[in-house]
Amino acid sequence: MGDVSLDDQDVPGPGAPAPTGAVAPAQRGGTRLDPWFGAYAQRTHGMRASEIRALFAVANRPEVVSLAGGMPYLEGLPLEVIADAIQRLVTTRGTTVLQYGSGQGDEGLREQIVEVMRLESIDAHPDDVVVTTGSQQALDLVTRIFIDPGDVIVAEAPSYVGALGVFRAYQADVVHVPIDEHGLVPEALDEALVRLAQQGRRVKLLYTVPNFHNPAGVSISLERRPQILEIARRHGVLVLEDNPYGLLGFDGEPLPAMRSMDDDGVLYLGSFSKTFAPGYRVGWVVAPHAVREKLVLASESAILCPSNASQLAISTYLTTCDWQGQIKDFRELYRERRDAMVGALAKYLPQASWTVPAGGFYTWVKLPEGLDAQSMLPRAVTNRVAYVPGTAFYADGAGADHMRLSFCFPTPERIREGVRRLATVVNGEADLLNIFGTTKFEHPTDDVDSPGPDLA
Amino acid sequence: MSAPHPRVLVLAGGLSHERDVSLRSGRRVAEALRATGCEVLVHDVDAHLIDRVRSEQPDVVWPLLHGASGEDGSVADVLELLGVRFVGAGPRATRASWNKAVTKSIVAHAGVSTPDYVTLPQSLFSELGAATVLDLVVESLGLPLVVKPARGGSALGVTLVRSREDMARAMVTCFSYDEIALIEQAVDGTEVAVSVLATPDGLTALPAVEIVTDGPYDFDARYNPGRTEYFAPARLPDDVARRVAETAVAAHEALALRHLSRSDLIVRPDGSVEFLEVNTSPGQTETSLFPQAVAAADRSLADVYRSIVDLAAATPRRREAASLV
């Protein structure tokens, strides 16, 4: 720290120099503590950290059982084997590993990605693949090249919170379509698209997480996949298939990806974050050639190129380790945790209902009538348990009667303890409702209500 | 006496609803103190804390904790048991200030005006019937009312209630944070915060900071820059400015708060001053009120933090600064 005192730097008051031109004359004498407040773009105004988000700060303390985050259980990885391989990589190919790379991504890795996707029946060419910084960046790039403010994106109800954040940042209007235990409901999709067309709304994308949905835990059935593709094609809507969990099914073979049934109408997003390690931040998008061209250009303008170090580390892992065996181990581990979760829910929270996912990380719990998962969160913090309120997964303030519980990171024993604590929370809140009657809470739709990526 | 540059252990975090705010306060104070030459360690309130205090032997511990054990007096108890000098009030004074209802009765006893209120636990509503109790409260105290958790900060769980129908929801919101509710008459006027600082020459009130929001001064308005406009010093006539300063000092003294405090006050349109609540561990984040008051006094925040540490280093161990009531 130099000789600049913090008060001068961060809290402009009288006597503290304001940045040139920063304070409008009308504000002189007062301060809003952010001299650039009037300068932000329209799309930034919704970016506010909510008190819900602040409550998640306790989630990484060991006393708290976090059923909130989506962190994979990395202790299951052969860390020493990976360390040796990475060391060899830097020693033998260091000048490549540490250099800029191709904007589209390393060609060798793209070839390997094509092999990975074959497990879900996708037949693609390495040229169709763009490597991104996690599939989250692919979401950002796709939204950037397709969405003008006010364009509609149709998404499942509920939908992945991280996607909703990207859509909001580009000022898309998200319209939710219902799902059931077999995933997105084709008839409801058709109705929504007809209705939107009648309203003269421009629908650009259908966003879906078809396998082991985040947060709902369900998958789109094999029968429904072609139906959904047909409906989207008929309405001229591009399908954005986000599939980070597809290989993490507990029973049987992976379902064929929607991309395997339609090369031109689907943008497919894949990721190594859930099946290997999110720390490398490597995901990808598969796109028809014209879209892919734009994605590469957009990616180069955003980040020049994805990290070579990360890509080659992943490539080395795929070459030198039994990655499919590792995924099998993960599946067993997560299945055991899923069983612990649903067993504990049946034991401690029989008055609630929940999905029993056949893969992935999450179960979606419907609370007893009248309970509000968001207003209940402070009580959960007091009781040392964390979850994500359902409101995070809707763009329209709905979802307060649900919560997402993750079973990926805590051990089965901790999961059972977490659900036991959660029952105390739910019962305490139910007592309160018995006393005061059911009350309806308004939930804002424009703030950030999910834990940060590092909190699980 | 301690060395010229005291070693300081800043406590930040804790398992409370305000953990995030505390971590931010702690980081800022630690940075500023390092700039004055102090060696500063930062530690969470966890199972290693007592060992850490014993092994590091800091000259001063500064608990920058918001909520729960940090502000309810228990951490102060432990620090006294450890025989270490620390910033802030002793355990009994901290405990009294943690409960807003106890605070109000102590300052009222000292002659400070505070809005009429009742304190009601959740159990009472189930025993007597919620609707009947709420009818009685509204009938007696009138509207608008402010419903807040008796213990807690950062305006978490606080609702301004303008109609009887909104009372039930406000109670549910409040009881999600704490089992005791403080229901207080809402006072119309200018909202100001007055920080009080101990110096070797006695207590001094820093310039009042005036808070202007387009809605309630809630969590969002407190921590997301932009929604709130602050005036420091507050736009008050001299005599009123003097009165708010005296009120904050009187509250600080009545509560035996030692090194620093921040009182939240309302100035009515007629210039009279109402005490709302006191904070024994005022926030020190980028948007907090204490640092703004220091800037308004044309003082360097680092120097002020350092003066607090030096004063704490010279405070006798294991003794309350004054007895209560």
Confidence band (pLDDT; 50, 70, 90) for A305? very high
In this complex, which of A10, A51, A435 lies closest to B126 when CB atoms are compared? A435
Tokens representing B212 are 């202007």
The answer to whether the Cβ–Cβ distance between B126 and A8 falls below 8 Å is: no
Residues A136 and A168 reside in one and the same domain? yes
Residues B105 and B244 reside in one and the same domain? yes
The answer to whether the Cβ–Cβ distance between B302 and A5 falls below 8 Å is: yes
- pLDDT tens track, chain B, 325 positions: 445 899 999 999 998 888 999 999 999 999 999 999 999 999 999 999 999 999 999 999 999 999 877 788 899 999 999 999 999 999 999 999 999 999 999 999 999 999 999 999 999 999 999 999 999 999 999 999 999 999 988 888 999 999 999 999 999 999 999 999 999 999 999 999 999 999 999 999 999 999 999 888 888 888 888 889 999 999 999 999 999 999 999 999 999 999 999 999 999 999 999 999 999 999 999 999 999 999 999 999 999 999 999 999 998 776 444 444 3
CA distance B203 to chain A (A): 22
Q: Which of B107, B85, B86, B81 is nearest to B96 (CA)?
A: B107
Q: Give the pLDDT score at B33.
A: 97
Angstrom distance (rounded) from CA B242 to CA A381: 41
pLDDT beyond 50 at A8: no
Q: Which of A276, A293, A320 corresponds to the end of one domain?
A: A320
pTM for the whole thing? 0.90
Does residue A280 lie in a domain region?
A: yes
CATH code (residue B159): 3.30.1490.20
Does residue B247 lie in a domain region?
A: yes
Nearest residue on chain A to B134, alpha-carbon basis: A436
Q: What is the H or E stretch that residue B276 is in?
A: strand B273-279
| Chain B CB contacts of A29 below 8 Å | 231, 235
Residues B150 and B101 reside in one and the same domain? no
Residues A158 and A286 reside in one and the same domain? yes
Residues B51 and B181 reside in one and the same domain? no
For the segment A332-359, the average pLDDT, to the nearest whole number, is: 97
Pairing, β A402-406 against β A362-366: antiparallel
Give a three-class secondary structure readout of A139-201: HHHHHHHHCCCCCEEEEEECCCHHHHHHHHHCCCEEEEEEEECCEECHHHHHHHHHHHHHCCC
Q: Which of B162, B185, B208 corresponds to the end of one domain?
A: B185
Q: Give the pLDDT score at A54.
A: 83
The answer to whether the Cβ–Cβ distance between A432 and B19 falls below 8 Å is: no
Token pair 């909520």 in the structure block, residue: B67
Q: Which of B169, B185, B201 corresponds to the end of one domain?
A: B185
The answer to whether the Cβ–Cβ distance between B300 and A7 falls below 8 Å is: yes
Residues A264 and A276 reside in one and the same domain? yes
Residues B236 and B146 reside in one and the same domain? no
Number of domains in chain B: 3
Residues A360 and A277 reside in one and the same domain? no
Buried b (16+ CB within 10 A) or exposed e, A184-212: bbbeebbebbeebeeeeeebbbbbbbbbb
- The CA–CA distances, whole Å, from A430 to A224, A423, B262 equal 38, 10, 36
Cis peptide before A158 (omega within 30 of 0): yes
Residues B131 and B216 reside in one and the same domain? no
In this complex, which of B224, B227, B233 lies closest to A49 when CB atoms are compared? B224
Buried b (16+ CB within 10 A) or exposed e, A70-106: bbbbeeebeeeebeebbeebeeeeeeebeeebebbbb
pLDDT beyond 80 at A56: yes
Q: Give the pLDDT score at A454.
A: 65
CATH code (residue B18): 3.40.50.20
Output the average pLDDT for chain A: 91
CATH code (residue B274): 3.30.470.20
The answer to whether the Cβ–Cβ distance between A13 and B286 falls below 8 Å is: no
Whether B18 is catalytic:
yes
Q: Give the pLDDT score at A94.
A: 96
pLDDT beyond 70 at A204: yes
Residues A250 and A330 reside in one and the same domain? no
Residues A94 and A228 reside in one and the same domain? yes
Residues A313 and A372 reside in one and the same domain? no
ipTM: 0.88
Angstrom distance (rounded) from CA A10 to CA B175: 35
The answer to whether the Cβ–Cβ distance between B176 and A378 falls below 8 Å is: yes
Does residue A456 lie in a domain region?
A: no
Does residue B210 lie in a domain region?
A: yes
Does residue A12 lie in a domain region?
A: no
Q: Give the pLDDT score at A442.
A: 78
In this complex, which of A1, A51, A435 lies closest to B125 when CB atoms are compared? A435
Number of domains in chain A: 2
Q: Which of A303, A320, A337 corresponds to the end of one domain?
A: A320
| Chain A CB contacts of B231 below 8 Å | 29-31
pLDDT tens per residue across span B12-62:
999 888 899 999 999 999 999 999 999 999 999 999 999 999 999 999 999
Q: Which of A326, A208, A206, A219 is nearest to A274 (CA)?
A: A326
Residue B99, annotated as binding a ligand = no
CATH code (residue A378): 3.90.1150.10
Residue of B154, B195, B263, B281 marked active site = B154
Residues A291 and A176 reside in one and the same domain? yes
Residues sharing a CB contact under 8 Å with residue B282, sequence separation 6 or more, in sequence order:
B195, B260, B261, B262, B288, B289, B290
The answer to whether the Cβ–Cβ distance between B286 and A10 falls below 8 Å is: yes
Angstrom distance (rounded) from CA A36 to CA A39: 5
Residue B277, annotated as binding a ligand = yes
Domain that holds residue A153: 79-320
Does residue B75 lie in a domain region?
A: yes
> Which of A7, A376, A448 is the best substitution to test chain B (most B C-beta atoms within 10 A)?
A7
Does residue A361 lie in a domain region?
A: yes
Residues B107 and B139 reside in one and the same domain? no
Does residue A99 lie in a domain region?
A: yes
Residues A290 and A364 reside in one and the same domain? no
- The CA–CA distances, whole Å, from A95 to A89, A92, A112, A311 equal 10, 9, 22, 14
Buried b (16+ CB within 10 A) or exposed e, B134-159: beebbeebeeebbbbbbbbbbbbbbb
CA distance A441 to chain B (A): 8
Angstrom distance (rounded) from CA A111 to CA A125: 8
The answer to whether the Cβ–Cβ distance between A32 and B225 falls below 8 Å is: yes
> Which of A439, A449, A455 is the best substitution to test chain B (most B C-beta atoms within 10 A)?
A439
Domain that holds residue B64: 7-88
Q: Give the pLDDT score at B3.
A: 53
Residues A288 and A373 reside in one and the same domain? no
Residues A72 and A83 reside in one and the same domain? no
Does residue A447 lie in a domain region?
A: no
For CA atoms A62, A67, A70, A74, the dihedral sign is: positive
Residue of B16, B18, B25, B184 marked active site = B18
For the segment A8-18, the average pLDDT, to the nearest whole number, is: 36
Contact, B84 vs B53, CB < 8 A?
yes
Q: What is the DSSP string of A58-90?
A: GGGSTTSEE-S-----GGGS-HHHHHHHHHHHH
The answer to whether the Cβ–Cβ distance between B230 and A31 falls below 8 Å is: yes
Residues B227 and B176 reside in one and the same domain? no
Nearest residue on chain B to A386, alpha-carbon basis: B17
| Chain A CB contacts of B229 below 8 Å | 27, 30-32
| Chain B CB contacts of A433 below 8 Å | 172
Counting one residue from A and one from B, how many pairs have CB atoms under 8 Å apart? Answer: 155
pLDDT beyond 90 at A327: yes
CA distance A197 to chain B (A): 38
Residues B12 and B34 reside in one and the same domain? yes
Residues B206 and B275 reside in one and the same domain? yes
Q: Which of B155, B185, B215 corresponds to the end of one domain?
A: B185
Does residue A255 lie in a domain region?
A: yes
Whether B179 is catalytic:
no
| Chain B CB contacts of A17 below 8 Å | none
In this complex, which of B17, B31, B220 lies closest to A6 when CB atoms are compared? B31
3-state SS assignment for residue B43: strand
The answer to whether the Cβ–Cβ distance between A48 and B220 falls below 8 Å is: yes
DSSP, res A279: G
Angstrom distance (rounded) from CA A123 to CA A261: 10
Does residue A44 lie in a domain region?
A: no
Does residue B132 lie in a domain region?
A: yes
Tokens representing A170 are 């580009």
Angstrom distance (rounded) from CA B318 to CA A18: 44
Whether B261 is catalytic:
no
Residues sharing a CB contact under 8 Å with residue B299, sequence separation 6 or more, in sequence order:
A7
Residues B200 and B168 reside in one and the same domain? no
Token pair 């409008």 in the structure block, residue: A24
Residues B245 and B101 reside in one and the same domain? yes
Residues B108 and B202 reside in one and the same domain? yes
| Chain A CB contacts of B18 below 8 Å | 54
Alpha helix stretches (DSSP H) within B46-189: 49-56, 74-81, 91-98, 100-109, 122-128, 130-141, 167-175
| Chain B CB contacts of A14 below 8 Å | 232-233, 295-296
Residue B224, annotated as binding a ligand = no
Residues A274 and A140 reside in one and the same domain? yes
Q: What is the DSSP string of A347-395?
A: HH-TTSEE---SBSSEEEEEPSTT--TTTTHHHHHHTTEE-EEGGGG-S
CATH code (residue A196): 3.40.640.10
